[in-house]
Structure 1
Amino acid sequence: MKPRVSVIVPVYNEGAAILRCLERMLREVLLPAEVLIVHDMPDDTTVPYAEEVARTDPRVRTVLNTYGRGPANAIRFGIDAARAPVVVVTMADGCDDPRQIDELARLVDRGVVVAAASRYMPGGQQVGGPRLKRLLSRWAGRTLYTFARVGTRDATNSFKAYDAAFVREVGIESRTGFEIGLELTAKANRLRLPVAEIPTIWLDRPLGESHFDLGRFLPGYLRWYFFAYGRRLSREKLAARTGAVAVPRQPDPRGSTEYEKTG
């Protein structure tokens, strides 16, 4: 059965900790799904454990990222390798709630191009994590929601679902860190395409060590934070930013148009 949702999980030496993540995800996701474990190196310690699960559950695939190292490239590669019309990006550290993957995917099925799991809307919560990172993320979410009207109070959260055709149309320019979630939210906002959110409870990483480097990733976040403000862009003008041309490919069965990038 063709999956309705592709779950993209970028990993970096998670080792046996990936087993707990996959066990919860495979139990909670009820839609026809594939889970792509995207790794940068053949000898990543996550791979043997993920392949052990894949031998008994065909929903799991390990895929080697060939776009370059780092989470942004892993997410880009995973989305390009996805077979479903909806992609969900989630982390391997257990911070995100896999029970919400189906709900996020169904919002995209209903027509939004970005569905965000929001820590900062009523009913959401963030438990733990570095204090400075929390303050910056909350401030960015509130100001973007209030003044840029991006449709979510948590534009920086990586836990989001996307219309795969939308992502392939607008492209991903980020090459460094986890700012892809903010980039795609900002692009949807400038195109005036629908963005929605549901509340989530984010729990700080229970096992292992976080690989988030605020100093390294902050410039990318700032770039897309300011890009979110501005007048409406046409698809052609947005495509020109990436040196690509949006070309209609085939009708989407949900009623929108799917595009491919050329140039």
Structure 2
Amino acid sequence: MAVLVLGRPVVAAGGVSRRPARRMVRVLLGVLAVRANRALPLEWLIDALWPGRPPVSAAANVRTHLAELRRLLRAGGPDQPGIVTSHDGYALVAPPDGVDVTLFQRLVREGRELRGHGAQHAAAGRLAEAVALWRGPVMHGVPVPEAVRPDVAVLDEQRLDAIEDLVGLRLALGSHDELVPALAGLVVEHPLRERLWHHLVGALAASGRRTEALAAYQRLVRVLDAELGVAPSAATRELYEAVRRGDAGAWPSG
């Protein structure tokens, strides 16, 4: 059994996903999962779910929602995610693989450790597993409370960092042609992520598409200037100059 919130909040077991029927229970599941293994005081949960305007029955409502989540999770048995009550509050306590958020973070750490040891194929595999856990935006389909928006923003950043790391590894392993379409879409979706543009320029150049690589760099220059008033980093400028000179040794060759 696992709690999944990198996408719609659901509880998955045996290949079947179960979604709490009530929206507020789904929100609570997302909040607990984003902050898995941390005790959250009742007052904090009330403010997260009803910021500035809690109903008179807020405390009772939270306890009712928690009871519903306990019933949903109880089928998992021991050593599975569960709601724990302590003097500090309520926590979704789960093993490392019991919440997709913590599993994602573990896989990313392992992928980077493997990369650091020179195991590029294994590192790419681990990072690919991590990225594949994302089924959509965090807590997709329910409102994200202000209280956990910083946590969600960190997760979004971690996802993009992992994608960039994975692309860099796959480029180094020679997957240039197949990465170009994905990178072209990513720079449209995240136009201010210079590292994605850097990878796109490198992938195009390594695929023999030098003119397109130079054009991609010029698009980056315009985007950064218009949006941030800055120029590309020294590393990206050096890549551009290498592509302009036709220096094939300056980008990944596989």
* TM norm structure 1: 0.25
Name the structure with the higher helix share.
2
Name the structure with the higher strand share.
1
* TM norm structure 2: 0.26
Q: Which has the larger radius of gyration?
A: 2
